Structures are given as C-alpha cells and as structure tokens.
Amino acid sequence: MTKTLHHRACHLCEAICGLTIETTTSEEAVRITSIKGDPQDAFSRGHICPKAVALQDIQNDPDRLRQPMRRVGSEWLPIEWDEAFALVAERLSAIQARHGQNAVAIYQGNPSVHNYGLMTHSNYFLGLLKTRNRFSATSVDQLPHHLSSHLMYGHGLLLPIPDIDHTDFMLILGGNPLASNGSIMTVPDVEKRLKAIQARGGKVVVVDPRRSETAAIADQHLFVRPGGDAALLFGLLNTLFAEGLTRATHLPVDGLDEVRQAVADFSAESMSPLCAVPAAQIRQLARDFAAADKAVCYGRMGVSTQTFGTLCHWLVQLINLVTGNLDRVGGALCTEPAVDLVASTSGGHFNRWQSRVSGLPEYSGELPVSALAEEMLSEGEGQVRALVTIAGNPVLSTPNGRQLEQALDGLEFMVSIDLYINETTRYADLILPSTSALENDHYDTTFNMFAVRNVSRFNKAILAKPVGALHDWEIFVGLATAFSSLTGQVLKPTMAPAQMIDMGLRMGMYGDASPHQLSLKTLEDFPHGVDLGALKPNLAPRLKTPGQRVQAAPAVILADLTRFAAQRVPAVGELLMIGRRHVRSNNSWMHNYHRLVKGKPRHQLLMHPDDLASRSLEDGQRVQVSSRVGVIEVEVLASLEMMPGVVSLPHGWGHARPGVKTAIASGQPGSSANDLTDERQLDLLSGNAALNGVPVTVAAA
Ligand SMILES: Nc1nc2c(c(=O)[nH]1)N[C@H]1C(S)=C(S)[C@@H](COP(=O)(O)OP(=O)(O)OC[C@H]3O[C@@H](n4cnc5c(=O)[nH]c(N)nc54)[C@H](O)[C@@H]3O)O[C@H]1N2
Ligand SMILES: Nc1nc2c(c(=O)[nH]1)N[C@H]1C(S)=C(S)[C@@H](COP(=O)(O)OP(=O)(O)OC[C@H]3O[C@@H](n4cnc5c(=O)[nH]c(N)nc54)[C@H](O)[C@@H]3O)O[C@H]1N2
Ligand code: SF4
Ligand SMILES: [Mo]
C-alpha cells in the first residue's frame, strides 16, 4: 500500500478552500483515505467545512451514475455513448426542424460554474442549438448583480468585492457567509476575517429578517421586512445626501445629480414602514457608515432574490460610491484575476429580446427561468418542446417546481447532463453522467474572479478517469459532433480546457508579458495556489461604459422607481417566507451523503413563538404551509432567531418524489420551498425570481 498526498482547491462552494487529500493505493484500488484543510494554502489557511470531507462520498456513492442511461417508461437502461449522442442529435434536430430552433430550451445549473471544462466547452454544443430559450440558475440568484454592473460599469462581471481584510465597517444585507462561506465574495475562512474587522476596532452590521449565524457574531443586527431592503437602502442613501455625509470619489461619474434628485423623497422616515426598520436606526446606520474611514456595503442572495433586487444592488453600489468607498482599499474593489474574463469578453447585453409568453427580458442571451414552465405549457408558435439540462435541478431550485414538473412531463424530449436520477432528471429520456470532480483537473475560472485576494491555482485530477467515462467537456464535444454531422454545420477543432486556461493565463496580466510568467507549467510550482496580492483600485481604466465613466443613474433603473413608488404598504398580519442555508447542505444535491445529513433534520420551518401562539400552533408540530401556487407539509420549530411575521425554510429539499434514485436523500426528504415560491413574484426589471418574501399562511396539518 502506498499513500499519496494531493493538494487541490475544493470546488463545492465559492470559497475554493485548499484541501490536502490522501489516497491509498493497494493492489485492488485507489482509495481516498483522508481529506483535510491545507494549512499551506496562503488563501484559505487550512480552513475547511464538512462538505469537503464528503467529496469521498460523492466519489463512492452507489447512486451516482457512471454510464449514460436511457429511460424506457419508468425503467433506466444503460446505453453506449455514441448511440446516446446520436439519439440526442437526431431528436433535437428533428424537433427544431419541425417547430423552429426556439422549441429546444436549455437550463444550466450552479455546478457549471464550479467545473471549468463545463465553462469552456458547454457552448460548443449549446451554441449550435441557436435557441433563444436559454435559462440558468443565474435568474434565481445573482442576475441583479450582473445587470447593475452591466449598466453602471459596462460589464456584467465588473463586480466590486468587499475588501474584507482592510475594511473598518462592513454592512451585510441578505448574505449569511457563516453558512454559505461567502458568495460573490470568495472568502475562505470568513469567520476569522469578520472577527479580524472587530479586532482592529471596526464593526460588522448585518441586516437580515433572521438572526443568522453571521448576525449572531455581528456588532449590530437589524431585522428587515423581507423584500424591504430597497426601501432601507433608499433611506440610507437619502440620509447620506441630506445630512451631507458624502465623500468625493476619484472615479469619473455621470448622473449623480439625477440620483440625488430621484431619492430626494425617500427619507428614512418615509421608507421606514416599507422595511420595518425604525427611521432613527436608518439615519444612525448611515452616519456610522459614513463616519468609518473605510467602509463597505455588501448585498447578496437575500437582496437579489427579491421584488426590487436590481434596485437593491444599484443602491449598494451607490452607497459605496457616494461615501468614496468604491474602488478604494477597505471598500469595494474589482479583482484582477489571472484569467480575466472582463478583459476578454464583451460587457453583455440586456432586453434585446423577450420571452414569448410573459415578455421577460433577456440578459446576455439568457431568459429568466421563472418563465421556463410557461414557455413549455403555453401552446402556440415557439412553444418549447424539448429541454437540455446541465448540472441543474430546477424542479427543486426554481419557483413553482410543481408547475415545472407538469411541464417537463409534457415534453417531447429531454436530455440531462447530470450525475444523478433526481427530481428533475427523472423526466429525462437520457441522462449523460460525467466523471466525478476528483477524476477531473480543476481551475476555478469563476471564483478566482470574485476572490478577496488575487489568487490562482491549477490542480490535476486525483483519481484516474475510469474506462469508458467522459468528462463534461467531452460530452459536449460528443454532442456537438453528432449534432453538427446531422445538420451539416461545420465544427471547428477545439482545444482541451487545460490548453484554454494555459492560453488565458499566458495572455493575462500575470502571463508572458509580466514577471510572474504564469502558465499551466509555472502553476505546477504552486501546489498550494499562488497569491497574487491584495485587491487594489483599478476600476477607472477597466470601465467598459461608453466614455469610460461610471453611470450612476442608468435610465432603465431610474424607470423602475415608478414601480417601487407604487408598491403596496405591508398588509397587517402578513406572513412572509424566506430561505436559509446550512453549512452541511449545498443547494439540492448534497443530501445523499450520510455524513452530511446525519443527526437531527435541518429542513424545518422556523417561526417566531408569537406567530406560533397566535395560530395556536406548537413547537415541533406538523404544519401546512400554503402560498398562491402550492401547499406543503413540514415540521415547524419555534425560533427566536426569526423576525415576527417571517418564516424561514431552506430550499433544495423535497426528495420524496416517485422515481428519484438517491437512497439517502429519500430517507430524509423534507419539503421543497420552491413548491411555494411563485413564478410570478419577480424583480420585474431583471426578471430575477423573488424567492424571498413570499406571502404564505401556516396552519396545523
Ligand atoms: N427558494 C429558494 N430557491 C433557490 C435558492 C434559495 O435560496 N431559495 N437558491 C438559488 C440558487 S442561489 C441557486 S445557485 C440555485 C441552484 O439551482 P440548480 O443549479 O438548478 O440546482 P443544484 O441543486 O445546484 O443542482 C445541481 C445539479 O448538478 C448535478 N451536478 C453536480 N456536479 C456536477 C458536475 O460536475 N457535472 C454535472 N454535469 N452535473 C453535476 C447534481 O447532480 C444536481 O442535479 O437554486 C436557487 N433556488
Ligand atoms: N452551505 C452552503 N453553502 C452555499 C450554498 C448552499 O446551499 N449551502 N449555496 C451556494 C450558492 S449557490 C450561493 S448563491 C451562495 C449564497 O450565499 P448567501 O448570499 O450568503 O446566501 P444565504 O446563506 O442564503 O444567505 C442569505 C441571507 O439572506 C437572508 N434574507 C432572506 N430574505 C431577505 C431579505 O428580504 N432581506 C435581507 N436583508 N435578507 C434576507 C436570509 O435570512 C439569509 O440569512 O451560497 C453558496 N454556498
Ligand atoms: S467552505 Fe466551500 S470550498 Fe471550503 S471546504 Fe467547504 S464546501 Fe469546500
Ligand atoms: Mo447560487
């Protein structure tokens, strides 16, 4: 038996922690014998969470598919790769020939961005489909970030990241990095970094309808009415202007006077009823923020997936801008990654076309996923009749999952590139499973771009690729080849993902023309990753707006103020549902590993004791939760963490569906929050789903 130590970045969430993985080779097999945090990783400094240890469970899971499967009725039978590719090509091209290119829809899920081969190669096939019906998890997540950056800075990926290691004041809205390990802020070891702000005399303030794990360690926590953050942020911005708390910026800016005028009526006092934060607290928060030498306002998932998600993210940018904290050390800074997609891609586009049924806007070629089911269910020209899903589970992750199931059931053809037969892929005619992550190289094209330091690393596969298995990118090449041979399109030869990264590295700012000389080859010398330094101001020369000036008052955003002003005042006695993440869970797909789900369940509804009492409900009892679109049954727990009038339910559960083949998850199924979220509840400006602030009623089951 020989033991080997490997160093690798974890790909499971955005934190990209460095891991040390030990494998033991015997005559029979290579086994993973230990997974630990890597103390020599300069970025993550040994940090690890329980999910990383489950990488071995993903590897060994008997339910994980290892060969292409074809569904015949309710039975799944293995099929050869070539036969599978030919079948997909034949069915999709026939459907497109009969009903037009848009009759095929695409849904791309979250693990896509954690898998670099998927990033570099999926479009090789998907682009050939030439459909306008492209959807992804972006529109149940961070679309408002991209849209506000696209409109203000000219590129949807110019996302300013909190300079957490140098700030004196961090205001967090709708993010719970202690559970999520940070998002659009790649920050391994976030708890230590937040505590370091406090240790150097700074402050952390959290705005959240739940006293989250992050709120619990903050200096101040403010409850906010779900969906009320735009009002709170307007109140803050108005106070900054009205009380003369602004500070000059070195950035060239257009439209600040328009902004000042536009928010003139949104005083803290007038905004308070909409967000349920007392006006005096809004004003004080604005003063505290402005008084800090270096401050940063950071909004995440909880404020992008709400009815005014884009306004929220625009306001977050403005608060940083007018206090002089945008593009400043200790404020919000854009990264300079080794493979720089901002430099190498165009800035994106918005609303060039709309969805057929509801007229929702495209963003950079994608439509909001809330429209996916209706595009399948509404008859007429352009109706979607086939679907390709890639690393996604929209039945559990997009609003009104039950409606989507009904729509999937009516499709003529569906193919899923996925590892499991789960709540979504059980509707597929074919499932094409890729190798597991540890059988694959890894370069993080996405999260190096959002990291709180400029870092880079490339890791080789740890386990050999099994005979007959294909990587995701090879599946796309196979599909593209089969499809193009049928439709007579010419297919260009392609590089492997690693070669593309090598090219990106060498052309980048740390590449051939720099002293770093980064390439795949030189990265081999840095098994623990290479630290390329702290973030620094760089926004002015990187702006991609016409005239290279920050656009503080984009017309489409100002136009949304009318919708904001027209919102209804909160109903008396309203009960609003929000989501929740737990460090042992990851969206919908990591419940099939015993070590992550053992112990007491974590998928209950949390409710304030007063709200339980007023409904004569008891802690621990089964309740029925209803919304406009559906009803589920769950266990309710009394929780003083909750703001009165708000209940919290994590998403990604609801595994008790016929035909799902994930044995451990099915043993602890929970209920799906997205059987309650409403496909019509949107940030209408971007089309992003408003998953938070869903009106519900709760009664005894
Ligand atoms: N109510 C509510 N809904 C939410 C959220 C919420 O907070 N509340 N959060 C939203 C957010 S932020 C997101 S990102 C979405 C996520 O939504 P999705 O991306 O749709 O769902 P996941 O649960 O991430 O499903 C990932 C799928 O990819 C497969 N998979 C994993 N790794 C690989 C791989 O390497 N290759 C391939 N081919 N497949 C792989 C898994 O088997 C699984 O089927 O959910 C959203 N939905
Ligand atoms: N352990 C774990 N880590 C993950 C994931 C996971 O599923 N599990 N998913 C990954 C993904 S895909 C993403 S996108 C990131 C997300 O990372 P985060 O954005 O940090 O997401 P959450 O942990 O869901 O935190 C959202 C917070 O918003 C609060 N909230 C809900 N509604 C509102 C509101 O109206 N206003 C305000 N101010 N707050 C509100 C919730 O109570 C919650 O505390 O996490 C990533 N990391
Ligand atoms: S925090 Fe995220 S990246 Fe770090 S070990 Fe856990 S799952 Fe992996
Ligand atoms: Mo996400």
Residue nearest to atom 47 of ligand 2 (CA): 180
Residue 169, domain member (yes or no): yes
User: Which whole-number Å values give the CA distances from 4 to 242, 423, 464, in the listed order?
Assistant: 63, 37, 14
Instruction: Give me the torsion for CA of 683, 211, 203, 196, rounded to 10°.
Output: -110
One domain, residues 432 and 304: no
One domain, residues 631 and 664: yes
* CATH code of the domain containing 157: 3.40.228.10
Give the span between the Cα atoms of 230 and 224, in whole angstroms.
11
Residue nearest to atom 6 of ligand 3 (CA): 49
Total count of domains within the chain: 5
Q: How many other CB atoms are found less than 10 A from the CB of residue 666?
A: 15
504 lines ligand 1 (CB under 6 A): no
The predicted-structure confidence for 186-208, as pLDDT tens digits, reads as follows 999 999 999 999 999 999 999 99
Residue 423, domain member (yes or no): yes
Residue 181 pLDDT greater than 90, yes or no: yes
User: Which whole-number Å values give the CA distances from 73 to 369, 429, 430, 659, 687, in the listed order?
Assistant: 28, 9, 12, 11, 36
One domain, residues 550 and 601: no
One domain, residues 598 and 693: yes
One domain, residues 173 and 320: yes
Contact 167, 330 (CB under 8 A): yes
Q: What is the per-residue pLDDT for 344? A: 87
> pTM for the whole thing?
0.98
One domain, residues 487 and 505: no
Between the CA of 129 and the centroid of ligand 2 the distance, in Å, is 33
* CATH code of the domain containing 679: 2.40.40.20
15 lines ligand 3 (CB under 6 A): yes
One domain, residues 212 and 89: no
One domain, residues 489 and 593: no
Name the pLDDT band for 256 (thresholds 50, 70, 90). very high
Name the pLDDT band for 42 (thresholds 50, 70, 90). confident
300 lines ligand 2 (CB under 6 A): yes
Residue 659 pLDDT greater than 80, yes or no: yes
Residue 321, domain member (yes or no): yes
The predicted-structure confidence for 379-408, as pLDDT tens digits, reads as follows 999 999 999 999 999 999 999 999 999 999
Residue 577, domain member (yes or no): yes
Q: Pocket of ligand 3, candidates 11, 12, 53: which has the most ligand atoms within 8 Å of its Cβ, to mutate? A: 12
Between the CA of 178 and the centroid of ligand 3 the distance, in Å, is 11
**What type of residue sits at position 424?**
T
One domain, residues 242 and 321: yes
Coil, helix or strand at residue 626: strand
420 lines ligand 1 (CB under 6 A): yes
Contact 152, 347 (CB under 8 A): no
Name the pLDDT band for 8 (thresholds 50, 70, 90). very high
Residue 673, domain member (yes or no): yes
579 lines ligand 2 (CB under 6 A): yes
16 lines ligand 3 (CB under 6 A): yes
The predicted-structure confidence for 46-83, as pLDDT tens digits, reads as follows 999 999 999 999 999 999 999 999 999 999 999 999 99
Between the CA of 140 and the centroid of ligand 4 the distance, in Å, is 7
Residue 466, domain member (yes or no): no
One domain, residues 640 and 661: yes
Residue 138, domain member (yes or no): no
Determine the structural domain holding residue 522 and report its residue range.
Answer: 496-528
Residue 81, domain member (yes or no): yes
DSSP assignment string, 159-224: --EE-TTT-SEEEEES--HHHH--SSSB-TTHHHHHHHHHHTT-EEEEE-SB--HHHHHSSEEE--
User: Can you list the positions of beta strands (E) in 592-630?
Assistant: 605-607, 622-626
Average pLDDT over residues 331-350: 93
The predicted-structure confidence for 428-481, as pLDDT tens digits, reads as follows 999 999 999 999 999 999 999 999 999 999 999 999 999 999 999 999 999 999
Q: How many other CB atoms are found less than 10 A from the CB of residue 493?
A: 5
* CATH code of the domain containing 76: 3.40.50.740
Residue 493 pLDDT greater than 80, yes or no: no
One domain, residues 37 and 173: no
One domain, residues 333 and 188: yes
